[in-house]
Amino acid sequence: MPLLELLGGLLAPPLCWSCAGLVARGELLCRGCRLALHRLAAEPVRLAGVRVWAPVAYSGPARDLVRALKFRGAVHVADAMAAQIVANAPEPLPELDSAAGRPTLVPVPLHPRRLRSRGYNQAAAIADALSRRTSIPLTDCLARTGLSITQMGRNRAERKSGPVGSIDVVGIAPPRVLLVDDVVTTGATLAACREALAAAGSLEIAAVTFARTIGR
């Protein structure tokens, strides 16, 4: 946890990450903002050929939590996102447990330049929290190369064309993979990850994210 974030938590009362109202110690959202979360259906959807599931829509308080994790250094938010994924997953979620054995969690990679700037990969933070909560193994076997351009600000056609640059497998690709990211829009980035993993030998590839853009 960044030092300023830690000191802020000690010196100031906890505030809701969405509306800035007071919250109970240990909570990220006030009661009103928790109730305002747009819960999604239990069934996974298929985006760009990838089977993906998310507990909430990328809107309102959920969007504010994603931005807090990505841009405000609130790394601890990742654990709350993982808790939402685990607590609201369908019972059983095939991607999390099956007769074929549990998969390996693989975070969607962040470009090295962005990783140096941010100091952490938000997808890896969520994957780590998921692994601790579920005991599902984790491997960071994907790497992003080429130009460093964020998906934010790109139009839908540009997003659907996939991430700028390329995604490659580093080391051995697990046979069963559960990709992890903070939010999914068109699914193009997940599809690029799936393509790289499949080329490296992965047989089953699905994904979970904290939030999904409404209508996807």
Parse the chain into domains and list their residue ranges.
1-36, 39-212
Q: Can you list the positions of beta strands (E) in the chain?
A: 45-47, 50-53, 56-57, 104-107, 142-145, 166-169, 176-184, 204-212
Torsion of CA 211, 124, 51, 60, to 10 degrees: 0
Highest mean pLDDT pick, 7-11, 65-69, 84-88:
65-69
Residues 106-156: tens digit of each pLDDT? 999 999 999 998 999 999 999 999 999 999 999 999 999 876 555 555 455
pLDDT for 98 equals: 53
Per-residue pLDDT tens over the stretch 148-178: 555 555 455 545 555 657 999 999 999 999 9
Which CATH number fits the domain 39-212, given the four candidates 3.30.310, 1.10.10, 1.10.1450, 3.40.50? 3.40.50
What is the distance between the alpha carbons of residues 171 and 202, in angstroms, rounded to a whole number? 12
Tell me if residue 30 falls in helix, strand or coil. Answer: coil
Record the pTM: 0.84
Integer Cα distance of 200 and 17 in angstroms: 40
